């Protein structure tokens, strides 16, 4: 009878999923969503950050229904986009400005707004280079590729990685590059998407007031899911 080979990443997976589930206890777990359009996957990330899932999905539908194509949306004013999102939408002015800037950056980079032909093995590298020539965030580009093509990338910037390390998801000695590689090796695509969203949401919440990572219960009325709000017991003297 063949021996069962132990997963070399088992301990890391357990730590990462513990952090992921703790973040979801605060920010909720969202339905899996598959995109076929790269720009739509980028734009949705702007809409969903800090917003309710249904609100973000409905807002995306309103935008797609209103405009003929991405170029039509690109030439719209911030005020027009804001009106379509609705005055009660979370950070509506900021969201409208971010959408306008995103579409402008994409047009500057490619001089066209139909870029799904770049969703190929060669084109992926062109898309991954967007943060080098535009203001589009690296983690947003990587998450979009994950959503559209399921490319095994862990979308994570320096602040998000510091948070992951602070929460105990990865060993503290690891650099950002080393840690991201470990996560990509350990988790599947769905798990990576869940973890990256939770980290992004929490950084968004605490970064308004704090520069350093904060426990999940920061600014929340409920107990910390990881128990990090409890005082650390001093070691007993021998």
**Paired tokens of 206:** 């605490």
User: What's the whole-number mean pLDDT along residues 112-125?
Assistant: 95
Higher per-residue pLDDT: 6 or 68 = 68
Q: What is the pLDDT of residues 169-226, one digit of tens each?
A: 999 999 999 999 999 999 999 999 999 999 999 999 999 889 999 999 999 999 999 9
Q: Does the domain made of 11-206 have the CATH classification 1.10.340.30?
A: yes
Q: Quick one: pLDDT at residue 230?
A: 79
pLDDT range class, residue 8, cuts 50, 70, 90: confident
Higher per-residue pLDDT: 2 or 75 = 75
Dist CA 154 CA 191 (whole Å): 10
Alpha helices by DSSP H, the chain: 10-27, 38-48, 53-66, 70-74, 78-85, 92-110, 121-128, 130-133, 138-149, 158-166, 176-186, 189-206
Q: What is the pLDDT of residues 32-42, one digit of tens each?
A: 888 999 999 99
Q: Give, as one character, the DSSP assignment of residue 89.
A: S
CA within 13 Å, CB half, 158: 2
pLDDT range class, residue 234, cuts 50, 70, 90: very low
Q: What is the CA radius of gyration of the chain?
A: 20
């Amino acid at each position: 009878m063949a021996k069962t080979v132990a997963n070399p990443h088992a301990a890391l997976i357990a730590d990462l999923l513990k952090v992921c589930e703790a973040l979801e206890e605060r920010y909720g777990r969202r339905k899996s969503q598959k995109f076929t359009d790269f720009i739509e996957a980028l734009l949705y990330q702007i809409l969903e950050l800090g917003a309710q899932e249904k609100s973000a999905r409905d807002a995306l539908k309103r935008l797609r229904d209103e405009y003929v194509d991405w170029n039509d949306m690109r030439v719209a004013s911030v005020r027009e986009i804001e009106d379509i999102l609705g005055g009660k939408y979370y950070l509506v002015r900021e969201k409208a400005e971010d959408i306008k800037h995103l579409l402008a950056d994409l047009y500057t980079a490619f001089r066209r707004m139909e870029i799904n032909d770049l969703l190929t093995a060669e084109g992926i590298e062109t898309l991954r280079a967007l943060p080098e020539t535009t203001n589009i965030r690296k983690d947003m580009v990587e998450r979009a590729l994950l959503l559209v093509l399921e490319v095994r990338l862990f979308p994570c910037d320096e602040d998000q990685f510091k948070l992951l390390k602070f929460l105990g998801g990865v060993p503290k000695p690891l650099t950002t590059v080393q840690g991201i590689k470990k996560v990509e090796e350990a988790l599947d695509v769905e798990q990576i998407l869940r973890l990256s969203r939770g980290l992004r949401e929490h950084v968004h919440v605490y970064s308004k007031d704090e520069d350093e990572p904060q426990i999940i219960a920061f600014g929340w009325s409920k107990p910390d899911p990881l128990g990090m709000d409890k005082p650390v017991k001093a070691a007993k003297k021998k």
